[in-house]
Amino acid sequence: MVRLARLLALLVPPAEVLVVVLLLTGVELPMPVIVAAESAVATVIVVEVTTAYRLFREERRAGAGRRAAAAAVWRRLVPEPARRALAFEMKGTASVALWLLRRRDGVPPGATALPYAGEQWPMLLILIGAMAVEGVVVEVLLAAFDVATAIRVVVIVLHVYTIWLLLAAGASCAVRPHVVTGDTLRIRYGVFLDVSVPRALITSVRLARRHDEPRVVAVADGGLAVAVSSRTNVELELAEPITVARPLGARAEVTSIRFFTADPALAVTALSAGKAPSDTYE
């Protein structure tokens, strides 16, 4: 039942959106198509509500409170990538507010913050500017070809939404730097990645500049790389593997970590502080 509910929730809403857009643009759809679309939506609602109620009742019978039961139903019905995507958007919106207020998230008093966002702002601003110009050009062209207003509104909304996502991504990186505390190194990339590394497991830390990282977040050969503009400049070795969660939820074990910070020397100094002379720091 859970698998069926997930499948219907994935397939039917996009089809319904397509039908609505076609109707708004003046396309005359056969009545059987409209009836089938609305019947499918009604079926999805019934299946989702029924499944959610059954899962909620199971959790309550197992002794969970109402809030815990509702949270468990949410986790079981909604796939983890979808839950994470929704969380990214909510946290990204909050990040914009923090950025405007010049505040940071998760940097306690006495901790050392290691920012990294400044290196990527120029590219983000170029992308935002390009999207804004593209939106204006597309609107002018669509108006010139007398395209239906509904389609033009959809295109404008998509452009504005994309610009907002870019701004939220940049703001989330600005307010969520890497953080070194007395016992933990927290490596982050905006709202998309948050890895806590116990400092007791770090056996070495050194400057190691690389300019060929293939992705922003990559795991290969037991190593995690968190890059900015294809660059990393600090590398750690760990005494034992730790488990990291990638942006969409996949887990992996790593024994080394590379990351980028605007001040790699400060990172090495902060991580070296309080270590015994026998520790291998470079």
The pLDDT value recorded for residue 277 is 40
Interatomic CA distance for residues 16 and 7, integer angstroms: 15
- Please tell me what DSSP assigns to residue 183: S
Task: Enumerate the domain spans of the chain.
Answer: 2-78, 100-175, 178-272
Long-range (24+ apart) CB contacts under 8 A made by 38-42 are 40/12, 40/15, 40/16, 41/12, 41/13, 41/16
**pLDDT of the chain, 282 residues: tens digit per residue:** 666 656 656 655 666 566 655 555 556 667 776 677 667 767 777 777 788 888 888 888 988 898 899 888 888 888 777 788 888 989 999 999 999 999 999 999 999 999 999 988 888 899 899 989 998 999 999 888 888 787 788 889 888 998 999 999 999 999 999 999 999 999 999 999 999 999 999 999 999 999 999 999 999 999 999 999 899 999 999 999 999 999 988 899 999 999 999 999 999 999 987 554 433 434
Query: Residue 233, Cβ neighbours under 10 Å: how many?
Result: 22
- At residue 18, the pLDDT reads 62
Q: Which residue has the tokens 């007398």?
A: 146
Provide the pLDDT for residue 276: 43
CA pair distance 7, 107, nearest whole angstrom:
40
pLDDT of residue 222: 94
Considering only CA atoms, which of 165, 10, 177 is closest in space to residue 88?
A: 165
Q: Model-level pTM? A: 0.78
Q: Which two tokens stand for residue 66?
A: 């109402």
